[in-house]
Amino acid sequence: MTNLTRSAVPQAARNRSQSFQSALQRAHGFYQRKAARLLFRRPLLIRTDRPLISFTFDDFPRSALHVGGETLARFDVAGTYYVSLGMAGSVTETGEQFVMADLPMLLERGHELGCHTYSHCHSWRTDPVKFEDEVVRNQLALSALGSVKFKTLSYPIAPPRPLTKLRMARHFSACRGGGQTLNTGVADLNHLRAFFLEKSANNLQVIKDLISENARERGWLILATHDVAAAPTPYGVTPGFFEAVVRSAVDSGARILPVVQAVEVLKNSNPSGQ
């Protein structure tokens, strides 16, 4: 009994210590993420007569262009494709990725090509200096297409570190994260919010409601996904679902623009500098 008690007490103490440590780590993570939202903001006033919606694709899988892009073209609108050029020709957890020959076609069709780092870096775990090296490397790889420049970025996998936001402001007119909401009031050009469609792939109404809210608030809703395929990965949606979202967006009366153009519209409608 004595032995049992002696060994049990230190074990219990160890367990308490471990759970205290993990609680501390969780709290630390929470405040770091909050810091990512609150620090190094670049304010953009969302004030527009007509609501805005942008369609964005991350990584990007070929089906995003050849299926999703075709759907957008049928409605006479264009999107933004955030590319990690180091993933060209590969198969990843979001499916078969773009090939370099897709890129000129993408631009010819009026889409925007945005940066997603060269190697698809984890935005939180990657040191800000290394993260910046990765966006420079992605731009260098893009020079194969001539003078095309990335103007906007989406953060891969996770929210950015505050110092990464600061560094990205030197390279891009806008940087997009996640957050599952729309941009209203004063948005942060270093960390714009987006709604990932696949997270509501079983509930189109959630997205229709968000599109209606965006119309009422005259906000800027940035939608995001990866593949658009009949049997999508967990990170994509079906062509039918995607088309229903595009139709709903068009019917809401919103202007549908690639991210870089939406930023210009908002800046021009708020010449005060915000």
The residues that touch Zn ion, with contacts defined as CB under 5 A, are: 58-59, 156
Q: Which of 151, 98, 159 is nearest to 259 (CA)?
A: 151
With contact defined as beta carbons under 8 Å apart, do 255 and 51 qualify? yes
Please give the Cα distance from 206 to 222 (Å, whole number).
15
Q: How far is the CB of 214 from Zn ion (least distance, A)?
A: 24
Q: How far is the CB of 126 from Zn ion (least distance, A)?
A: 13
Closest residue by beta carbon to Zn ion: 58
Q: How far is the CB of 249 from Zn ion (least distance, A)?
A: 22
Bridge partner list, 256: 53
Q: Which is nearer to Zn ion, 36 or 121 (CB)?
A: 121
Element housing 83 (H / E): strand 80-83
Q: Which is nearer to Zn ion, 39 or 141 (CB)?
A: 141
Bridge partner list, 176: 154, 192
Torsion sign (Cα): 120, 124, 125, 131: positive
Q: Which is nearer to Zn ion, 59 or 112 (CB)?
A: 59
Please give the Cα distance from 246 to 109 (Å, whole number).
17
Q: Which is nearer to Zn ion, 42 or 176 (CB)?
A: 176
Count Cα atoms within 13 angstroms, Cβ side, for 102: 21
Q: How far is the CB of 238 from Zn ion (least distance, A)?
A: 20
With contact defined as beta carbons under 8 Å apart, do 221 and 211 qualify? yes
Torsion sign (Cα): 73, 78, 80, 85: positive
> Rounded to 10 degrees, what is the CA torsion of 51, 242, 115, 256?
-20
Q: How far is the CB of 165 from Zn ion (least distance, A)?
A: 18
Q: How far is the CB of 157 from Zn ion (least distance, A)?
A: 6
